[in-house]
């Protein structure tokens, strides 16, 4: 099988494609779906090394060239669809009533949707459910059962350091699940979802492996202050536990992607809410709040983690929900699939082997951080990005509007 163009020129070919007529775009969109299917049939990229550490969706050992070709082809096809969708003619005016999705589509879990079905469903959802938090929980629950897989996303075809696509509907890891759910809940069509997803994933919406929000506490949280604010300190009060990290982005990028960049080491100071008292927060937490799971090493004298730069770090993320009886729940993506469970059940499983982990100097659950959705995130984003928000910039400086 031959690639549709030499990979170093894929980004250029995509840029050329956006200038085509609507008819030509439609033909390319059809061909890109065929290319994606072919790539899936050739060979999956199966030699990823699963690390116990978590750093968003950023970590992967690059496969050999034989394994990269189908992965890159698949990423190219997906991203070509992404670009052409963004530049397609606008849909009908917002005043038009949103059509009801066919019963067969509405009955499917979200992870089985096609891209066009996702767009139609978002249009309907935004027309029928005005409450942002309810949309978040609805979309999260509609993805229950979505298969879990680490390290799904990258920047292909714009960069090849991490040759994975810019989105994933069929699978998720914990951060992919949260980011996709938030982006879908805030937008009413596929192009809007794709733009907002990249604005959430990258610092200032600048697509690139260097500007991706790799470190949750030091990158993702500050970059998305327009979307959610940290409420851990006000919930915890004097119960808050402080922790420190040395965030070495240059070392991380060098070890993971063989990239040499000059970024000073950051001395990051943070705090968490102790896990034992978290279930009692049911009345203070709201549906759609973000929960960040803090893990760490408590054995005295144990070496600091060489990836996270400290003895505590954010190792997992999810969304807050409540059960019918008001019990505090977490909806999250973890092996083997997306699930919803009570905080009490999550904590019991996470702490079942604490004694053994502590004796061995292995990481275990310490507590949680909580982020509260802003009342009007999109208004906040317009203040940052201007009236054309979200602002998304391609490597090299081109923008997606």
The residue ranges of every structural domain in the chain are: 225-373
Spatial distance between the Cα atoms of 268 and 294, rounded to a whole number of angstroms: 14
Q: Cα–Cα distance between 160 and 162 in angstroms, integer?
A: 5
- pTM (2 d.p.): 0.79
pLDDT tens series, the chain, 401 aa: 433 444 444 444 444 444 444 434 444 444 444 444 444 444 443 333 333 333 444 433 333 344 445 555 555 555 555 555 554 444 444 445 566 777 888 899 999 999 999 999 999 999 999 999 999 999 999 999 999 999 999 999 899 999 999 999 999 999 999 999 999 999 999 999 999 999 999 999 999 999 999 999 999 999 999 999 999 999 999 999 999 999 999 999 999 999 999 999 999 999 999 999 999 999 999 999 999 999 999 887 766 655 556 779 999 999 999 999 999 999 999 999 999 999 999 999 999 999 999 999 899 999 999 999 999 999 999 999 999 999 999 998 777 66
Pair 155, 166: CB distance under 8 Å: yes
Q: What is the DSSP string of 372-399?
A: EEPS-HHHHHHHHH-TTPSPEE-TTS-E
The helix or strand, by DSSP H or E, that contains position 293, with its residue range, turns out to be strand 290-296
Cβ atoms of 150 and 48 closer than 8 Å: yes
pLDDT score, position 306: 57
CA quadruple 161, 167, 170, 176: dihedral sign: positive
**What's the rounded Cα separation, in Å, for the pair 194 and 187?**
9
Shortest CA distance to 110 belongs to which of 341, 374, 333, 400?
Answer: 333
Pairing of strands 337-342, 328-334: antiparallel
Q: Which residues pair with 312 in a beta bridge?
A: 296
d(Cα 263, Cα 361) in Å, to the nearest integer?
A: 30
pLDDT for residue 82 = 55
Task: Name the one residue in this structure whose structure tokens are 């390290």.
Answer: 151
Burial pattern 343-377, b for ≥16 Cβ within 10 A else e, equals beebbeebeeeeeebbeeebbbbbbbbbbbbbeeb
What pLDDT sits at residue 66? 43
Q: What is the pLDDT of residue 70?
A: 52
Residues composing the chain? 401
Q: How many other CB atoms are there within 10 angstroms of residue 386's CB atom?
A: 10
Give the distance from CA 340 to its chain's centroid: 18
Considering the domain 225-373 in this protein, what is its CATH number?
A: 2.30.260.10
When computed from its CA atoms, the radius of gyration of the chain, rounded to whole angstroms, is 21
CA distances 117 to 104, 152, 293, 361, Å, are 11, 21, 32, 47
């Amino acid at each position: 099988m031959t690639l549709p163009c030499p990979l170093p020129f894929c980004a250029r070919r995509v840029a050329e494609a956006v200038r085509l007529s609507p008819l030509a775009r439609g033909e390319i969109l059809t061909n890109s779906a065929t290319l994606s299917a072919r790539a899936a049939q050739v060979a999956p990229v199966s030699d990823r090394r699963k690390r116990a550490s978590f750093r968003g969706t950023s970590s992967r050992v690059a496969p050999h060239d034989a394994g990269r070709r189908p992965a890159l082809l698949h990423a190219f096809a997906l991203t070509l669809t992404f670009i052409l969708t963004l530049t397609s003619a606008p849909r009908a005016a917002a005043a038009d009533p949103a059509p009801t999705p066919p019963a067969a589509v509405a009955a499917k879990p979200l992870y089985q949707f096609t891209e066009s079905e996702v767009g139609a469903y978002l249009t309907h959802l935004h027309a029928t459910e005005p409450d942002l938090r309810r949309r978040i929980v609805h979309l999260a629950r509609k993805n229950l059962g979505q298969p879990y897989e680490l390290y799904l996303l990258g920047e292909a075809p714009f960069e090849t350091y991490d040759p994975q696509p810019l989105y994933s509907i069929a699978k998720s890891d914990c951060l992919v699940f949260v980011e996709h759910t938030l982006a879908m809940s805030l937008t009413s069509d596929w192009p809007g979802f794709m733009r907002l997803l990249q604005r959430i994933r990258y610092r200032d919406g600048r697509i690139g492996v260097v500007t991706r929000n790799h470190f949750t506490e030091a990158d993702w949280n500050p970059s998305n202050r327009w979307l959610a604010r940290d409420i851990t300190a006000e919930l915890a009060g004097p119960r808050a536990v402080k922790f420190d990290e040395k965030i070495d982005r240059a070392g991380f990028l060098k070890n993971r992607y063989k990239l040499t960049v000059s970024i000073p080491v950051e001395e990051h100071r943070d705090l968490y809410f102790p896990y034992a008292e978290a279930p009692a927060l049911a009345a203070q937490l709201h549906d759609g709040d973000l929960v960040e799971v803090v893990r760490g090493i408590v054995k005295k004298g144990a070496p600091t983690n060489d990836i996270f730069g400290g003895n505590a770090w954010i190792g997992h993320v999810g969304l807050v929900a409540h059960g019918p009886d008001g019990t505090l729940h977490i909806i999250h993506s973890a092996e083997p699939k997306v699930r919803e469970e009570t905080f009490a059940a999550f904590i019991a499983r996470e702490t079942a082997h604490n004694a053994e982990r502590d004796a061995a100097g292995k990481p275990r659950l310490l507590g949680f951080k909580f982020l509260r959705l802003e009342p009007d995130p999109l208004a906040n984003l317009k203040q940052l990005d201007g009236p054309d928000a979200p602002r998304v910039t391609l490597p090299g400086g081109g923008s997606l509007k």
